[in-house]
Amino acid sequence: MHAIIRLRPLPARNALFGVGVGVAYMAASGESIDAPYGGLIDLARDIDTGRTDAYGTADRIRSWRV
């Protein structure tokens, strides 16, 4: 998720695709997440603006595990 949002490999919608990849990765790992309302949007914005790094991203996603 962090790499897709920061590196912007797609012409558009990198944040949307990054969030989808992050959620799909957690599901493929056998984990489900329950992010608070707007939590994934806030996380994507923090990644895009550089307010969080890959470790902070992982910590926040881990805190949403069910």
Half-sphere exposure of 64 (CA within 13 A, CB side): 19
Chain length of the chain: 66
Q: How confident is the model at residue 6 (pLDDT cuts 50, 70, 90)?
A: very high
- Residue 60's identity, in one-letter code, is R
Which three-class secondary structure state does DSSP give residue 65?
strand
Q: Which residues pair with 65 in a beta bridge?
A: 33
Residue 15 has a pLDDT of 96
As a whole-number percent, the residues of the chain with pLDDT over 70 amount to: 100
Radius of gyration (Cα) for the chain, nearest Å? 11
Average pLDDT over the chain reads: 96
Determine the pLDDT at residue 46.
Answer: 98
Average pLDDT estimate for 6-17:
96
pTM: 0.91
The predicted model gives 43-54 an average pLDDT of 97
